[in-house]
């Protein structure tokens, strides 16, 4: 459903996979919604059209109708998923020959597989239902949640394989949703190293020491901890600036919190940017931050922005428990903190500013890791192998 210029992890991972498959010799057609996430504003060139066929580089993209509704709240999200499940079928006559289907939107993906009589790989970007419970946005005993879990379980059993982006999803897929381990193949989100790369010369030209977050303003993140840390730093070093760039439903509460704290060293960039512009913005910062919220359980997902952060060669402050914390520790590419610990966050920012050698080493470690393990060429080759195997069985 999501594809650039939409922002967020799902859109990024879909683009990376499409380009990764193309770079490995595959012909790729993407069926996605009109650009709408997260603001709900449909660009003028899509008005009054049921679908639009376009090219994104060498990738063919068929975009289908979506209502101009913000993606916020549980029921609006369910509505949007349902709408795309229907409108995605508008593209069926235009898709052409298919060898295999890889789907982040499960219902239309399974329909395409049945109509084309080809195998289907269902992608698991997020444990959406479990995250809603962990963030206390939905009662774990609610009838709607139980019904949604039943639908998830049914859809997963109809796929040929499931491709989660995080090893933290495997236990839930097997124990809760009854997916056989033999059908689970983890494929990380990946990063386009031709776009996201170090630009140290621009960093050195900046007067301010910049701590940056770039991405969706969603409930998965706790920006209050960032603003409280900025308030502490403001009284110690006036040459440090916190920048938060993106779009999303939390913008209003973020601006209110900044006013309440009367913090002056925070800049909000309420704007969608191209992938190239995001890469440039990341490269101009000194430290990059992942301020995840304090989930009920250790976080099981892997944010795709961590790979982008590493690719530009900058140290990362990771406010998280679970998989992101373990990943940063294992790759020695940043500092990990418990979510909400704004005092330690402030102290870490000051420490990295005062120790440029340490910051540089962490950035170099991250860049080296993504070069060897999670380039889009590598994840594309992995997915091509999986899709070829299930295609040969069909």
Mean pLDDT by 10 residues, the chain (394 residues): 82 90 94 86 90 92 91 77 91 93 93 95 83 73 82 91 91 90 92 88 65 91 96 95 92 95 96 88 96 84 90 96 92 96 97 96 96 92 95 82
Find all residues with CB under 8 Å of 97, minimum gap 6, and list them: none
* Closest to 101 measured CA to CA, from 198, 47, 26: 26
The pLDDT score that the predictor gives to residue 200 is: 60
Would you give the DSSP letter of residue 167?
G
Give the DSSP H/E element, type plus range, for residue 53.
strand 51-56
Give the separation between CA 134 and CA 295, rounded to whole angstroms. Answer: 5
Residue ranges, comma separated, of all CATH 3.40.50.2000 domains in the chain are 9-190+375-393, 200-373
Listed residue (310, 338, 139, 132) closest to 222, CA to CA:
338
Q: What is the pLDDT of residue 241?
A: 96
Q: Is the previous residue joined to 248 through a cis bond, with omega within 30 degrees of 0?
A: no
- CATH class held by domain 9-190+375-393: alpha beta
d(CA 120, CA 161): 7
CATH no., domain 200-373 = 3.40.50.2000
How many residues does this entry show for the chain? 394
């Amino acid at each position: 459903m999501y594809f650039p210029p939409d922002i967020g992890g799902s859109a990024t991972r879909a683009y990376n996979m499409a380009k990764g498959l193309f770079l490995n010799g595959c012909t790729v057609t993407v069926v996605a919604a009109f650009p709408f996430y997260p603001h709900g504003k449909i660009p003028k060139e899509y008005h009054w059209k049921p679908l639009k066929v376009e090219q994104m580089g060498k990738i063919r993209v068929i975009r289908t109708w979506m209502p101009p509704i913000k993606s916020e709240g549980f029921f609006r999200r369910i509505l949007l998923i349902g709408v795309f499940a229907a409108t995605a079928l508008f593209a069926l006559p235009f898709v052409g020959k298919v060898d295999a289907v890889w789907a982040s939107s499960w219902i239309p993906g399974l329909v395409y597989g049945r109509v084309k009589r080809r195998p289907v790989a269902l992608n698991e970007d997020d444990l959406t239902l479990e995250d809603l419970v962990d963030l206390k946005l939905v009662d774990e005993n609610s009838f709607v949640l139980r019904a949604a879990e039943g639908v998830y379980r049914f859809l997963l059993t109809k796929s040929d394989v499931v491709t989660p982006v995080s090893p933290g999803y495997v236990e839930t897929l097997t124990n809760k949703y009854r997916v056989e381990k033999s059908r689970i193949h983890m494929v990380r989100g990946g990063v386009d190293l031709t776009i996201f790369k170090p630009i140290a010369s621009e960093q050195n030209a900046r007067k301010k020491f910049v701590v940056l977050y770039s991405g969706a303003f969603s409930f998965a993140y706790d920006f209050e901890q960032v603003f409280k840390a900025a308030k502490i730093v403001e009284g110690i070093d006036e040459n440090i600036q916190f920048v938060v760039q993106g779009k999303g439903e939390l913008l209003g509460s973020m601006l209110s919190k900044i006013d309440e704290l009367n913090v002056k060293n925070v800049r909000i960039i309420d704007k969608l940017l191209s992938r190239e512009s995001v890469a440039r913005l990341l490269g101009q910062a000194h430290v990059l931050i992942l301020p995840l919220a304090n989930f009920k359980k250790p976080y099981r997902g892997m944010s795709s922005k961590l790979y982008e952060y590493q690719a530009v060669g900058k140290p990362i402050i990771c406010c998280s428990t679970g998989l992101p914390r373990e990943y940063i520790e294992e790759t020695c590419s940043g500092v990990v903190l418990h979510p909400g610990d704004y005092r330690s966050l402030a102290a870490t920012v000051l420490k990295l500013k005062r120790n440029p050698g340490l910051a540089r080493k962490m950035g170099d470690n991250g860049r080296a890791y993504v070069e060897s393990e999670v380039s889009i060429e590598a994840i594309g080759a992995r997915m091509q192998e999986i899709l070829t195997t299930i295609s040969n069985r069909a």
